């Protein structure tokens, strides 16, 4: 499978999770859109682009289980949170509830706004190892108060690669009158996604990670009855009395066209969907998960440290990306560079809550041999990398 990707064949690439990787036919379609744009830029942007964009939106909508007109393309998930969070009219006395597993850039968005607007951003701890969906929901709900107006959390967390039971959380939040904002950065393509079934109020996710579209492609979904909350983050032709763009709703007009840009990454999303469909991705995912489960087991044998996930792999707490405990390291950056420079292994070393982990991603192009190289590298490097006990 690696020949289908543009990845350097000399690198053992176990970090699909950070920025994804794009199959060659998807990348070719992407660059072909760019050439089409250059052939007659005015006609393309004025008469063709928005039809192609609507088509891509429909394809993506079908893939994630909602009408294409309820989602907009955005460059990445963090951008999506900025659109949603900056639209909200929060003030002193309001609370936004989240977990202590969220992506740092997203935490920054909320901290920035809470400084300006005076609301509280409540980071409720979710304890590792997790045991059950019910336990996670209950632990999260310990942070709910009568002032909780929004719940923000990841579908799959970044540092801890943990799948939260968001359907349960969205259901319980709705019953309590709390609006849900779900960060799906790592979800589309890593697991089957049916947003109608999950029923969040707002959901954004990258397509450039696990759906393998080109870098800078993501989407923001808003439930129809919540779309009126959304304001433009980048005001342009789609807002105001002099609006010249009409995509069919304020939500789309306010968010879809942010001035002259190359939107080819968005237009290549249908090619990414097609690539996965043509390559039997349900089976690919299952194979990747099996290899990842073995990898986690083997690393656990090497370190003697327990998993952060329940033993039953069918519980769905991880899929193609797993965060696996390491002994405390003396120097995280040096350890990571040794993996890359001595063993050609690209894999992230994560610090979460002061503890060190390795986050392994298994994508279609990875093989058992990749894992063998990783295990060999860890066996060599770990004994000399431990933090000295200063107790």
**Contact region with a copy of itself (CB under 8 A), list: 207-215, 282-290, 365-373, 374-382:** 207-215
Q: What distance in Å separates the CA atoms of residue 202 and residue 205, rounded to the nearest whole number?
A: 10
Going by the DSSP 8-state scheme, the letter that residue 302 receives in this structure is H
According to CB under 8 A, which one of 181, 193, 252, 265 is a site residue for a copy of itself?
A: 265
Burial of residue 25 (number of CB atoms within 10 Å: 0-12, 13-18, 19+): middle
Which of 103, 309 has the CB closer to a copy of itself? 103
> Please, what sign has the CA dihedral across residues 123, 129, 134, 139?
negative
The least CB distance from residue 330 to a copy of itself, in Å, is: 21
Is residue 252 a contact residue for a copy of itself (CB under 8 A)? no
State residue 223 phi and psi, 5-degree precision: -55, 140
Q: Which stretch binds a copy of itself (CB under 8 A): 211-219, 277-285, 295-303, 316-324?
A: 211-219
> Residues 120, 147, 149, 215: which binds a copy of itself (CB under 8 A)?
215
Stretch in the footprint of a copy of itself (CB under 8 A) among 30-38, 64-72, 279-287, 319-327: 30-38
387 binds a copy of itself (CB under 8 A): no
Q: Where are the alpha helices (DSSP H) in 256-367?
A: 264-267, 269-278, 281-303, 332-343
Q: Per this entry, what is the length of the chain?
A: 391
CB of 156 to a copy of itself, least distance (A): 16
- Residue 280 near residue 287 (C-beta atoms within 8 A): no
Q: Which of 79, 164, 317, 357 binds a copy of itself (CB under 8 A)?
A: 79
Measured distance CA(193)–CA(203) in Å, rounded:
11
54 makes contact with a copy of itself (CB under 8 A): no
Closest separation in Å from C-beta 233 to a copy of itself: 7
Taking the complex as a whole, how short is the minimal distance between the CB of residue 316 and a copy of itself, in angstroms? Answer: 25
Enumerate residues 104-163 that contact a copy of itself by CB under 8 A. Answer: 104-105, 107-109, 111-113
Q: Nearer to a copy of itself by C-beta: 41 or 306?
A: 41
Q: Is 155 helix (H, G, I), strand (E, B) or coil?
A: coil
Q: Which is nearer to a copy of itself, 130 or 374 (CB)?
A: 374
Instruction: Give whole-number Cα distances, 335 to 283, 338, 342, 364, 390, in Å.
Output: 34, 5, 10, 26, 20
Contact 179, 149 (CB under 8 A): yes
- Answer whether 126's CB lies under 8 Å from 134's CB: no
Q: How far apart are CA 101 and CA 161, in angstroms?
A: 9
Stretch that binds a copy of itself, among 131-139, 164-172, 238-246, 294-302 (CB under 8 A): 238-246
Q: In terms of CB distance, is 104 or 146 closer to a copy of itself?
A: 104
Closest Cα to residue 264, out of 13, 27, 12? 27
| Per CB under 8 A, 343 contacts a copy of itself | no
98 binds a copy of itself (CB under 8 A): no
Judged by CB under 8 A, the residue of 1, 3, 11, 142 near a copy of itself is: 11
Q: How far is CA 272 from CA 75, 208, 267, in A?
A: 16, 9, 10
> Which residues here bind a copy of itself, judged by CB under 8 A?
5-8, 11, 13, 15, 18-22, 27, 30-31, 34-35, 37-43, 45, 75-79, 82, 104-105, 107-109, 111-113, 206, 208, 214-216, 232-237, 239-244, 258-262, 265, 340, 346, 348
């Amino acid at each position: 499978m690696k020949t289908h990707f543009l990845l350097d064949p000399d690198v053992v690439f176990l970090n699909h999770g950070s920025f994804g990787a794009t199959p060659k036919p998807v990348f070719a379609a992407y660059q072909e859109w760019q050439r089409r744009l250059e052939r007659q830029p005015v006609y393309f942007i004025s008469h063709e682009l928005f039809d192609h964009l609507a088509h891509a939106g429909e394809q993506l909508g079908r893939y994630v289980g909602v009408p294409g007109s309820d989602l907009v393309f955005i460059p990445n998930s963090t951008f999506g949170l900025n659109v949603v969070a900056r639209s909200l009219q929060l003030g002193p006395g309001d609370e936004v509830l989240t977990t202590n597993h969220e992506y740092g850039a997203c935490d920054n968005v909320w901290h920035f706004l809470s400084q300006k607007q005076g609301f509280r951003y409540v980071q409720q701890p979710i304890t590792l190892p997790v045991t059950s969906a019910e336990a996670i929901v209950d632990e999260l709900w310990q942070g709910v108060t009568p002032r909780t107006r929004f719940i923000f959390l990841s579908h799959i967390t970044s540092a801890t690669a943990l799948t939260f039971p968001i359907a349960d959380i969205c259901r319980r939040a709705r019953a309590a009158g709390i609006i849900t904002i779900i960060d799906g950065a790592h979800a589309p393509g890593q697991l089957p996604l049916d947003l109608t079934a999950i029923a969040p109020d707002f959901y954004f996710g990258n397509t450039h990670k696990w759906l393998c579209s080109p870098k800078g492609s993501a989407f923001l979904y808003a439930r129809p009855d919540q779309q009126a909350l959304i304001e433009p983050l980048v005001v342009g032709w789609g807002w105001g009395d002099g609006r010249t763009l009409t995509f069919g709703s304020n939500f789309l007009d306010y968010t879809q066209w942010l001035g002259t840009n190359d939107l080819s990454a968005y237009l290549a999303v249908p090619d990414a969907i097609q690539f996965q469909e043509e390559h039997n991705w349900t089976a690919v995912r299952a194979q990747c998960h099996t290899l990842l489960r073995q990898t986690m087991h083997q690393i656990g044998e090497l370190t003697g440290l327990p998993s952060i996930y329940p033993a039953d792999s069918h519980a769905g707490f991880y899929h193609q990306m797993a965060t696996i405990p390491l002994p405390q390291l003396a120097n995280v950056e040096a350890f990571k560079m040794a993996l890359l420079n001595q063993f050609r292994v690209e894999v992230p070393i994560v610090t979460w809550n002061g503890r060190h982990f390795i986050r392994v991603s298994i994508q279609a192009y990875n093989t058992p041999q990749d894992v063998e190289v990783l295990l060999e590298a860890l066996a060599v490097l770990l004994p000399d990398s431990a933090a000295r006990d200063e107790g």
